[in-house]
Structure 1
Amino acid sequence: MAGKLNINTFKKIKNIFFSNCTSLLIEAYHTSKSNEVIFQDFDENDITAILHHYIDVNPKRKILEISTNIEHHIFNNTKKYSKKFASKFARIDLRFSTFWKREEYIYFIEAKNLKSSDSGLKRRYINTGIDNFLKGGKYENCDGLLVGYILEGTKLECVKGINNLLEKDNRNDLIIIPQSFHNFDFYLSSHEERLLTHAFLEYFN
């Protein structure tokens, strides 16, 4: 993709695009929270659908010329074409895309529910969230952001619980650390394959 562009220009545009995507997400989060439309018994897809709606109607999205869709299927060329073969494709919650000088830039978001008192959800965040962005995972070729919808407790409590599980797994080098931008507390985890960004959205703290 970057072959037609100077690599530094490509990286700069890519970073600006990623920044715009996260900005749209955080604005949608604040709108959803102020409108009190999220409830504790919601599934992840319910919350994602609401956030996507707020992203979609945000005038800023059109100014930035960003397109979005939910439940994006990741096409797998290794699958044999047969009835219902597409139902076996991996799906990722949100997809952002834009074009600049005939190059397409894509950014993905995968989301998981979290509760401070639920170690099962924290384990699921690792196994089906973090690990899917790493080598061999469903999203290893996806540039993106991992989001935790916190339906009980605080981000600090949930991050501490996730890190405790990572330490228990002897994955101490992968613990999640804070990194603020867009006036919001994002988090980073450093992996051999990539640097993964996390956003934890508190709804009922």
Structure 2
Amino acid sequence: MSLRPEFNVGQRIRLLRERQGLSLRALAERCGLSTTAISQIERGDNSPTVSSLHQLAIALGVSITDLFQDERHAAMLIRPAERLRAEAGGVLMENLGLGLPYQQLEPFLVTLAPGAGNADQPVSHAGEEFVHCLEGAFDYCVADRLFSLEPGDSLLFEAVRPHYFHNPTDKPARFLLIFQAGGSGTLARRLHAETAHEAG
């Protein structure tokens, strides 16, 4: 069983919205995005930023992982060519595993372009967060403490502490990012973000 690589996150957002009987305007009021922006995302005309995905997930009452879930398949094995992806602002996130009914882990492979990150928008959420640098180098700031990660370095912290990542180098960086649910049993809903300075 696998996921179709052409699966559109926008289709999933529209399905969840319609299931809840929400109009575009009602969802826009909940998440702070414009109706035009949401419509473009749903049609696949515009790729959502990770920040937008976070806003939509909260407004729909689901986790980020739920936005990547294609209900027509129960995925347990995901091959590289079949990963669901979201890309915006120099941040590419690839879902590495989903499909369990009560999934408590949200694993992602993140590719961070030179200069990309969310230094101007620190986030926090329930649970724990694990980061492992695979390639390149980047910074992770947790509660005002800056950690510079290089290949092989790992970082584990309580995600309720404000945190952000940033690639200050001129080369791409890749890292494993895993969210774990907090004591409330709710999956971590904040993935991180829109780059501090998007091109254009």
* TM-score normalised to structure 2 length: 0.29
Larger Rg: 1
| Higher-helix-fraction structure | 1
Q: Which has the higher contact order (CA 8 A, sep 6+)?
A: 2
* TM-score normalised to structure 1 length: 0.29
